[in-house]
Amino acid sequence: MHTLELKEQIPSALKLEDYDVSPECGFLPAYSLVEVPLPEVFWKLQQTAAQLPKWLTTGGIRQVIESLPTVHVDEYTLTEMQLRRLMQVYSFLTHAYVWGEPKLANILPRNIAAPFHQVSQQLGRPPVLSYSSYALDNWVRIHETGAIAIGNIKIIQNFLGGLDEDWFILIHIEIEAKAAPALAAIPMLLEGINRDNIAVVLKALGNIRDAWSQINATMNRMPEACDPYIFYHRVRPYLYGWKNNPALPEGLIYEGVAAYNKIPQQFRGATGAQGAIIPTMDALFNIGHETDLLQEYLLEMRNYMPPKHRAFLEEIEKHSTLRNFVKGRMARVRELRDSYNACVSLVERFRSQHLGFVSRYIAQQAAKAKNDANIGTGGTPFMKYLKKHRDANRQHLLK
């Protein structure tokens, strides 16, 4: 009887597969989107997207995109993976159309706008290039049985192409893959807390710590093949969105989208803040951030995540009591505090390294170009945001 009562008090185990998270790939899909065939009607769109690095050098990308067929996406029964592939194609075409010629476009033609909106609605994400299409879904293995790691992956889709653009994306993809063991440890950790099993919690924290050591090692490799000047002038410009962007102050009109009624829409551009790894760690380790405009921005970024990833993060927020668990037991089990602090410190190190790269790749380059160094591709004052949340990690170390 006692055993049955105990089991009833313990919530059912968190299942990674319910949230499109896997122990091997983390938030990455289990296989590449290039392995997902699309109906023949999308062939011309795919071909044009694949040739963006060639078309963008001609200075006439808009005429090419305007000539593409209008596809009524809702007339086709498509799998989620097919929709994600289409989301990527339409996202890159849209940003190429807006930013690909000297004079910016503030109207997206209906042949792209209407199907893009239909795809985005089915996926539960805004019709704009986001981190999911830019990084999570943007890889293919070279050797099928090899790891998702630099040296065995290549990029599916880019804008101008070249080593620097590819490397920037590859680093993000490998970080996502390296995060998989940390995400896989979460169900075990939460179950350990529920059962008051310190040994299980310590093992899970050890797995998370080891994963973050690997993540930071990958992050350190960014300068190997991504030059700050090239990044700032040739990679970054295509990532911008049309919210809080002085270049498109009113936003972008999506022609032919009845739901928008010809009203300009404002969406954030692709940014790492739309990735789920860091907020998931904040949720797990109960690292809080004060309610202000920056925190509101972070919450808004969740709308750009795949809905299942957002749900996973929110589930961790609801159920993790890790910090209090450690605080209540660290006096007699010092290793608990040390393991907790080690993980939090590694996340802080990641944030510090990221802050350093932002200074080098954006702020310093903007100063040389006499541009506003304060606004990120997501349309937020990123330097202030990054410093503040880096410091929040430090403040949550247990003493």
DSSP state of 22: B
- 3-class DSSP string for 30-77: CCCHHHCCCCHHHHHHHHHHHCHHHHCCCCCHHHHHHCCCCCCHHHCC
DSSP one-letter string for 135-150: IIT--EESSTTS-SST
CA 282/CA 23 separation, integer angstroms: 19
The pLDDT > 70 percentage for the chain reads 90
Buried b (16+ CB within 10 A) or exposed e, 299-315: eebbebbbebbbebbeb
Q: How far apart are the first and last CA of the chain?
A: 40
pLDDT category at 35 given cuts 50, 70, 90 is very high
Tokens representing 149? 């790691």
What are the residue boundaries of the structural domains of the chain, listed by start? 2-395
> What is the distance between the alpha carbons of residues 389 and 168, in angstroms, rounded to a whole number?
23
Q: Tens of pLDDT along 47-66?
A: 999 999 999 999 999 999 99
What pLDDT, in 10s, does the model give residues 253-310?
999 999 999 999 999 999 999 999 999 999 999 998 777 777 788 899 999 999 999 9
Do residues 61 and 12 touch, judged by C-beta distance below 8 A?
Answer: no
If we measure between CA atoms, which residue out of 111, 267, 239 comes closest to residue 168?
239
Q: How far apart are CA 216 and CA 213, in angstroms?
A: 5
Tell me the C-alpha distance between 330 and 339, whole Å: 10
| pLDDT tens, residue by residue, 215-247 | 999 999 999 999 999 999 999 999 999 999 999
Domain 2-395 has CATH 1.20.58.480: yes
Q: What one-character DSSP code corresponds to residue 102?
A: S
Model pLDDT for residues 255-265, shown as the tens digit of each residue: 999 999 999 99
| String of DSSP letters for 320-384 | --HHHHHHHHTTT-HHHHHHHHHHHHHHHHHHHHHHHHHIIIIIHHHHHHT---SB-TTSSBHHH
What global pTM score does this model have?
0.93
Residue type, 67: S
Instruction: Give the residue among 92, 4, 81, 98 at the shortest CA–CA distance from 48.
Output: 92
